[in-house]
Structure 1
Amino acid sequence: MSQAIDGPRLPAATGKPKALVVFLHGYGADGNDLIAIGREWRKLMPDAAFVAPHASERCMASPQGRQWFPLTFRDPTERAHGVVAAAPGLDAFLDAELARNGLTPDRLALVGFSQGTMMALHVGLRRKVPPAAILGYSGMLVSPEALAEATGKPPILLVHGDRDEVIPVEALFAATDGLGAAGIPVEWHLSAGLGHGIDGEGLRQGAAFLGSMLKPRRTIHRAASQA
């Protein structure tokens, strides 16, 4: 059953946001799973507002959780169909959330985990105005052959555990190869000994990456020429 996309929010620590960080949770979880990261990152990015929406569909495999799209693992095309079907609702939520915070679309950063990374990459690369950054944990790039649809080339950081038992580490290298072939800048970090999750080093690298990409833009004042 679908419902309107909404979830927990954290206002900018400084009061007035200059950027928006949106967390996209994994299959069977919900927005509460990732918003705690925002509480830590507020200390490093005090000008950023954070939101972690619950996906619109209830997850049949985990009735207390949500899903961006169903996964039966029987249909090899279900991920491709799933991200396409879920994209319009998420895209509309992002636009509304930017408007809520009085921000332009280029001040957006997407952070995904697992299925949320699939959504972050699919939607982020097709936004009318590219986001400032995309950060993906333990996920994959769905339909790399469709990257001709990409409307921009935002900077991307992908983080993966080398012992991931849910989405094998090969998905990280397939994603970097696909993005690189499309001319989209991508960095990656491999967490040694980590399964399907996020470790402290991954969080540190993710925060540093977003902090760099979301630095307030400098305004250059030019002196008026004198006659």
Structure 2
Amino acid sequence: MTAIDGPRLAPASGQAKALVVFLHGYGADGNDLIAIGREWQLLLPDAAFVAPHAPSLLPGSPMGRQWFPLTFRDPDERRRGVIAARPDLDAFLDAELVRTGVAPDRLALIGFSQGTMMALHVGLRRKVPPAAILGYSGMLVSPEVLKDEATGKPPILLIHGDRDEVIPIDALFAATDGLGAAEIPCEWHLSPGLGHGIDGEGLRQGAAFLASAFAPRKTFARMASQG
């Protein structure tokens, strides 16, 4: 097992009550997404943020990293890749939850591209389902086994550009279909004119989605006592 690490942001409030983990795309590293945490701190003051670097270097790149190798020639490499990469990421998430003192059900996974593949694969198989999964410009790997392997049904939001030249929008609709077949609800948003990236509207919707997922839930008993 390979230990992974990356940049962190402490909660603006000073006390972590939630943990947001950014999973970067193929060829990037944790520094690529941690700045989003700075934008979201006002709306999520009790959240700690971390953006781990994927465990292996991208061949031929001095700094780029990958969660798993991609040749784009083998149709099965994504399935093998997410399975192989899962133990390292799971161990990192467990360690971060202990380090921050955050409960496992107060975890949110945010992915971009290959990071979205990891967020969906790992998040839907965690022993304790996360509070939310947010995926940008990604895809759902091996949807045919999801119904048998999923351990929960956390809130999911998928956001994709309709001009994505790397992972076409067909991947978004394949993901929503695959999640639906596994009886896992999913929200989605299509960003007009956007290629393989994240725009301001996607950031706004992502932040609002997380704020809703982390908001305290009133129990029936509490609601009845207030009625």
TM norm structure 1: 0.94
- Residues 102 and 219 from structure 1, CA distance in 2 versus in 1: closer, same or farther, beyond 3 angstroms? farther
Q: How does 1:1-227 map to 2 (within 5 A)?
A: 4-147=3-146, 148-216=148-216
- Residues 95 and 158 from structure 1, CA distance in 2 versus in 1: closer, same or farther, beyond 3 angstroms? same
3-state DSSP of counterpart to 1:120: helix
Q: Which amino acid aligns with 2:63?
A: Q
Partner of 2:225: none
- Residues 202 and 61 from structure 1, CA distance in 2 versus in 1: closer, same or farther, beyond 3 angstroms? farther
Deviations 1:37-82 (A, max 9, x none): 0000001100100000000000115331110000011111000000
CA contact (8 A) 1:18 1:47 kept: yes
Structure 2: runs of 5+ lacking an equivalent: 223-227
3-state DSSP of counterpart to 1:203: helix
3-state DSSP of counterpart to 1:64: coil
Q: Which amino acid aligns with 1:48?
A: A
CA contact (8 A) 1:153 1:184 kept: yes
Quote the offset at 1:101 in angstroms.
Answer: 0.7
Report the Cα distance in structure 2 between the residues aligned to 1:160 and 1:177, rounded to whole angstroms: 15
Quote the offset at 1:218 in angstroms.
Answer: 5.6
Please give the root-mean-square deviation of Cα atoms over the aligned residues, in Å.
1.5
Q: Which amino acid aligns with 1:116?
A: G
Report the Cα distance in structure 2 between the residues aligned to 1:181 and 1:86, rounded to whole angstroms: 25
CA contact (8 A) 2:2 2:88 kept: no
Among the aligned pairs, what percent are the same residue?
Answer: 81
More helix by share: 2
CA contact (8 A) 2:109 2:123 kept: yes
Report the Cα distance in structure 2 between the residues aligned to 1:185 and 1:214, rounded to whole angstroms: 17
Quote the offset at 1:32 in angstroms.
Answer: 0.2
Report the Cα distance in structure 1 between the residues aligned to 2:120 and 2:17, rounded to whole angstroms: 22
Quote the offset at 1:193 in angstroms.
Answer: 0.2
Report the Cα distance in structure 1 between the residues aligned to 2:16 and 2:219, rounded to whole angstroms: 17
Quote the offset at 1:220 in angstroms.
Answer: 9.2
3-state DSSP of counterpart to 1:63: coil
Report the Cα distance in structure 1 between the residues aligned to 2:61 and 2:183, rounded to whole angstroms: 38
Partner of 1:225: none
Report the Cα distance in structure 1 between the residues aligned to 2:177 and 2:75, rounded to whole angstroms: 20
Q: Which amino acid aligns with 2:195?
A: G
Report the Cα distance in structure 2 between the residues aligned to 1:219 and 1:84, rounded to whole angstroms: 37
CA contact (8 A) 1:12 1:42 kept: yes
CA contact (8 A) 2:160 2:190 kept: yes
Report the Cα distance in structure 2 between the residues aligned to 1:32 and 1:219, rounded to whole angstroms: 39
Quote the offset at 1:4 in angstroms.
Answer: 2.4
Q: Which amino acid aligns with 1:205?
A: Q
Report the Cα distance in structure 2 between the residues aligned to 1:219 and 1:173, rounded to whole angstroms: 34
- Residues 61 and 73 from structure 1, CA distance in 2 versus in 1: closer, same or farther, beyond 3 angstroms? farther
CA contact (8 A) 1:28 1:61 kept: no
Structure 1 outlier segments of 4+, above 2 Å: 216-222
